[in-house]
Amino acid sequence: MDASHLAANWSDIRRRVDEACREAGRDPAEVTILPVSKTFGPELIRAAVALGMRRFGENKVQEIRDKAPLLADCGIDWVMIGHLQTNKAKDVARLASEVQSLDRLELAEALDRRLQHEGRAIDVLVQVKTSSEPSKYGLPPEQLPPFLDTLRGYDTLRVRGLMTLAIHSNEPVEVRGCFRRLRELRDQAIAQGHDIPRLSMGMSGDFPLAVAEGATELRIGTAIFGNRPYPDSYYWPEPVGGT
């Protein structure tokens, strides 16, 4: 991946998202892209910053911890999108601008305690489990209303919306059903007085379906940065070359 390839990917994905918006009868200005930089190193992220990207999604706290100091001059907002252990709340409170994977009360308590200590407040999205796959994290949908009510008590956590991962399936109907579920849950919560407009859903492989169901934010990794060379481990590949 060199810098010109990255630039081509970046404009290409934006064009494809705009196209999906048009097909869904939506205004492209309503749908933002969150670049997911997990497993990619500081050189490539720096090249992405040069193209105008400022927010980056990461799924491991350790990666944010390692990359943030190396990119301190870039003004990056780090967004935590992966499963978060309670004992990592301290680093998240210090380094992340936002958490999209808030899925349980214990984590809200830990983040709140650490954020109070830091004197900060952050935006959060509640991750909801919209598929029956056993491996997926997220709050069970039926627990969402009481959870949102409880979160009103935490001043450090500004709840702005919901996040989900769709089922991994070749059946568009099933994938789309997950996205629809999240939108319906959001609409019900809004009707109950919660100000949570944002829907973070859709990735490189399924974003048109998410756009069709009302996504306001797509978490895109592969389509921007290419295939992750070591998908399951944390590794910085070659630095960006080219011009």
197: left (phi over 0), alpha (psi -120 to 50) or beta: alpha
Torsion over CA: 43, 47, 48, 49 (sign): positive
Tokens of 99: 């958490």
Please report how close the Cβ of residue 202 comes to ligand PLP at its closest, in angstroms. Answer: 8
Which residues, other chains included, contact 228 with Cβ-Cβ below 8 Å and sequence gap of 6+? Answer: 38, 39, 40, 221, 222
Site for ligand PLP in 194-233 (CB under 6 A): 203-205, 219-223
The 159-178 site mask, x for binding ligand PLP (CB under 6 A), equals ------x-------------
What is the number of other CB atoms lying within 10 angstroms of the CB of residue 206? 22
Measured from the CB atom, the residue of 81 and 95 that comes closer to ligand PLP is 81
Please report how close the Cβ of residue 9 comes to ligand PLP at its closest, in angstroms. Answer: 11
Instruction: Verify binding: residue 59, ligand PLP, rule CB under 6 A.
Output: yes
Determine which residue in the list 35, 41, 42, 82 makes contact with ligand PLP, applying CB under 6 A. Answer: 82
Amino acid at 109: E
For residue 131, report the phi and psi dihedrals to the nearest 5 degrees. Answer: -125, 165
Instruction: Verify binding: residue 36, ligand PLP, rule CB under 6 A.
Output: yes
Please report how close the Cβ of residue 203 comes to ligand PLP at its closest, in angstroms. Answer: 4
Measured from the CB atom, the residue of 63 and 149 that comes closer to ligand PLP is 63
**Structure letter (DSSP) for residue 53:** -
Measured from the CB atom, the residue of 170 and 243 that comes closer to ligand PLP is 170
For residue 64, report the phi and psi dihedrals to the nearest 5 degrees. Answer: -60, -40
Measured from the CB atom, the residue of 157 and 220 that comes closer to ligand PLP is 220
Instruction: Verify binding: residue 186, ligand PLP, rule CB under 6 A.
Output: no
Which residues, other chains included, contact 242 with Cβ-Cβ below 8 Å and sequence gap of 6+? Answer: 2, 3, 4, 5
Residue number, nearest CB to ligand PLP: 221
Measured from the CB atom, the residue of 59 and 156 that comes closer to ligand PLP is 59
Torsion over CA: 131, 134, 137, 139 (sign): positive
Measured from the CB atom, the residue of 146 and 205 that comes closer to ligand PLP is 205
Instruction: Verify binding: residue 38, ligand PLP, rule CB under 6 A.
Output: yes
Contacts to ligand PLP by CB under 6 A: 36, 38, 59, 81-82, 165, 203-205, 219-223
